[in-house]
């Protein structure tokens, strides 16, 4: 139950936060202010004018009624007072005229049936409270009737019959019905209010339909386009004619999707080409391994035969002049065997287990593998071996691949200048708890431009021209070092060329 209520509240709050709800609320408030405020001011002004007019009319009528009964009151002739009220009551708008004592006894009335009765028992209930200290002239509105309660005070001419001059002797009640103009005004006022409400509703409905037709429907089309794009549909397009802002947004969406599609096609093509290149390199590596294997066998036979011939020539002094030639043949055959052995060693499948490995041997082996390329490019490699073994837990073949990738990258960058590569192993002590080895690899090449420093370890990123690079060397190298619980990064030191730092955890050779 709590979950259901929470979901309901969430849906309700989301609905209230929608653009449509806020816009409709703004439209409603605006319409009420634009139409309601002027209407309220107008009606208030008309009511004020109407009240002043009604008050003046009541006062004038009351003065006429008072004048009609004044002579009767001065002469103390009740029949004259009653006749005067009855005569004035014949006016079309006068509904009731009466005079009653402050305590409520009705003395005179155009409605004869209520004479001598008490005003407080009448249904109209319009009277002055005799107990109030602020008894004064009062105007009362009752439905379609206006009443004027006019106190009659004891004056100079009343003293022969009454005492306490200035006190209230009676109250004159004048009740007038609404005239035709007044009824027309009340109807017009009501009609004006209803018309204003109808106008507000009509405008609200029109604006709502305009929003739904011109904005909401188009927004739904755009949202559907984004939904299709989120599902990976790069052929999704939004068809929205016009020159308004939403049409411009739809056009921008279509252009963006077209660019994304083109970029995706280029990326797919790039990935496919690199995968094909990588596959060719793998095939080439396998072919090179097979060739090395096939070459190694006859090279071994040649070496054995050459050494056998050398032994026979050493026994015959007359053939000593051929010894130097045989030595050269043996030396070059050994070189062929060493090269093919290095190729076979480098082409082996990488094992998944790590063992104690000496970095001195790994780096030297990497240099020996690439010795033909290094010599061909006249590159000088200075490797500062440590006197003691540099033992790490790892895989020698994978680590050789890392250093081969670094050396290959440097050799490719040396064109005309004389290339130099320096490799140095140092011990790094972190907090005196865990010793690490830091391998500094530095060349004197052109270095890495600032804009490429954050990209060099990304897959398929290469700056080599003519499609010579796969963009996978440094990416694979970083993965290998990471799998060895180490890290490799490009140094930010301001030196010529490029400097890579490799850090690996040290291990005791007896582990």
Q: Where would I find the H helices in 90-216?
A: 180-210
Span 52-70, mean pLDDT? 79
Span 431-459, mean pLDDT? 80
Is pLDDT above 50 for 250? yes
pLDDT in tens, 202-219: 888 887 887 777 777 777
Closest listed residue to residue 98, CA positions, set 177, 178, 176, 171: 171
- Scan for tokens 């290959």, then name that residue: 408
The full set of domains in the chain, from first to last, is 21-185 (3.30.450.20), 350-505 (3.30.565.10)
- Residue 358 to residue 36: CA distance in whole angstroms: 90
CA distances from 317 to 71, 307, 310, 320, 334 (A): 183, 17, 12, 5, 25
Orientation of helix 19-31 relative to helix 180-210, angle to 10° = 160
pLDDT band at 269; cut points 50, 70, 90: confident
- Beta strands 145-153; 138-142: pairing state: antiparallel
pLDDT band at 510; cut points 50, 70, 90: very low
Q: Is 421 strand, coil or helix?
A: strand
Residue 445 confidence (pLDDT): 83
Is pLDDT above 60 for 267? yes
Residues 6+ apart with CB under 8 A from 148: 58, 59, 61, 62, 137, 138, 139, 140, 173, 174, 175, 176
Is pLDDT above 80 for 127? no
Is pLDDT above 50 for 411? yes
Is pLDDT above 60 for 15? no
What percentage of residues in the chain have a pLDDT greater than 70? 80
For 359-484, where are the E strands, in sequence order?
Answer: 380-384, 391-394, 420-430, 434-443
- Scan for tokens 């429907």, then name that residue: 217
- Scan for tokens 């405008």, then name that residue: 203
pLDDT in tens, 479-488: 889 888 899 9
pLDDT in tens, 290-300: 777 677 778 77
- Token pair in block for residue 441: 């690899």
pLDDT band at 346; cut points 50, 70, 90: low
Asked if 467 and 450 touch (Cβ cutoff 8 Å), the reply is no
Task: Give the phi and the psi of residue 208 in degrees, each rounded to 5.
Answer: -65, -45
Residues making up the chain, counted from first to last: 511
Is pLDDT above 80 for 279? no
Task: Give the phi and the psi of residue 96 in degrees, each rounded to 5.
Answer: -160, 135
Highest mean pLDDT, choosing among 87-91, 144-148, 345-349, 497-501: 497-501
User: What is the pTM (predicted TM-score) of this model?
Assistant: 0.43
Beta bridge partners of 218: none
pLDDT band at 372; cut points 50, 70, 90: confident
Residue 409 confidence (pLDDT): 86
- Residue 350 to residue 339: CA distance in whole angstroms: 20
Q: How many helices (H) and strands (E) does the chain have?
A: 12, 12
Q: Which residues of 162-181 are buried (b: 16+ CB within 10 A; e: fewer)?
A: eeeeeebbbbbbbbbebeee
Work out the mean pLDDT of the chain and round it to a whole number: 78
- Beta strands 380-384; 420-430: pairing state: parallel
N-terminal to C-terminal alpha carbon distance within the chain: 62
Span 72-82, mean pLDDT? 82
- Token pair in block for residue 332: 């070059």
pLDDT in tens, 152-161: 887 776 666 7
Asked if 13 and 22 touch (Cβ cutoff 8 Å), the reply is no
Residue 465 confidence (pLDDT): 66
């Amino acid at each position: 139950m709590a979950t259901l209520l929470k979901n309901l509240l969430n849906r309700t709050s989301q609905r209230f936060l929608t653009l449509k709800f806020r816009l409709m609320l703004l439209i409603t408030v605006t319409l009420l202010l634009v139409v309601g405020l002027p209407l309220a001011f107008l009606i208030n002004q008309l009511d004020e004018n109407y009240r002043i007019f009604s008050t003046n009319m009541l006062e004038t009528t009351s003065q006429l009624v008072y004048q009609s009964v004044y002579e009767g009151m001065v002469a103390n002739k009740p029949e004259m007072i009653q006749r005067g009220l009855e005569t004035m009551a014949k006016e079309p708008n006068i509904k009731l005229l009466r005079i009653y004592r402050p305590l409520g006894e009705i003395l005179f009335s155009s409605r004869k049936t209520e004479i001598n009765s008490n005003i407080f028992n009448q249904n109209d209930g319009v009277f002055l409270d005799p107990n109030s200290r602020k008894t004064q002239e009062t105007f009362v509105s009752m439905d379609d009737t206006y009443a004027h309660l006019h106190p009659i005070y004891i004056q100079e001419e009343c003293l022969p019959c009454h005492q306490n001059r200035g006190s209230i002797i009676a109250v004159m009640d004048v009740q007038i019905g609404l005239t035709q103009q007044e009824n027309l005004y009340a109807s017009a006022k009501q009609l004006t209010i209803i018309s204003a409400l109808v106008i507000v509703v009509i405008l609200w409905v029109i604006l709502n339909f305009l929003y739904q037709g011109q904005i909401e429907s188009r927004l739904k089309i755009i949202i559907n386009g984004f939904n299709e794009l989120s599902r990976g549909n790069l052929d999704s397009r939004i068809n929205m004619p016009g020159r308004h802002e939403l049409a411009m947004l739809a056009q921008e969406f279509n252009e963006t999707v077209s660019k994304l599609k083109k970029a995706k096609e280029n990326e797919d093509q790039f990935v496919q080409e690199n995968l094909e290149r990588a596959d060719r390199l793998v095939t080439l590596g396998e072919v090179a391994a097979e060739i090395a294997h096939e070459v190694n066998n006859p090279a071994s036979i040649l070496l054995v035969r050459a050494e056998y011939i050398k032994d026979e020539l050493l026994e015959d002094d007359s053939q000593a002049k051929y010894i130097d030639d045989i030595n050269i043949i043996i030396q070059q055959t050994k070189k062929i065997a060493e090269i093919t052995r290095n190729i076979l060693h480098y082409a082996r499948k990488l094992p998944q287990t790590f063992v104690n490995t000496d970095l001195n041997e790994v780096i030297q082996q990497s240099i020996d593998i690439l010795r033909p390329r290094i010599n061909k490019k006249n590159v000088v490699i200075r490797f500062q071996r440590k006197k003691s073994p540099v033992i790490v837990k790892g895989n020698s073949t994978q680590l050789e691949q890392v250093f081969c990738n670094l050396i290959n990258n440097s050799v490719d960058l040396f064109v005309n200048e004389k290339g130099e590569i320096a490799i140095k192993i140092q011990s790094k002590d972190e907090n005196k708890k865990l010793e690490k080895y830091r391998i500094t690899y530095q060349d004197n090449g052109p270095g890495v431009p600032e804009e490429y420093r954050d990209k060099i370890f990304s897959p398929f990123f290469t700056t080599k021209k003519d499609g010579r690079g796969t963009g996978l060397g440094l990416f694979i190298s970083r993965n290998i070092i990471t799998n060895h619980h180490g890290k490799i990064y490009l140094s930010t030191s301001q030196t010529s060329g490029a400097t890579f730092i490799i850090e690996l955890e040290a291990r005791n050779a007896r582990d």
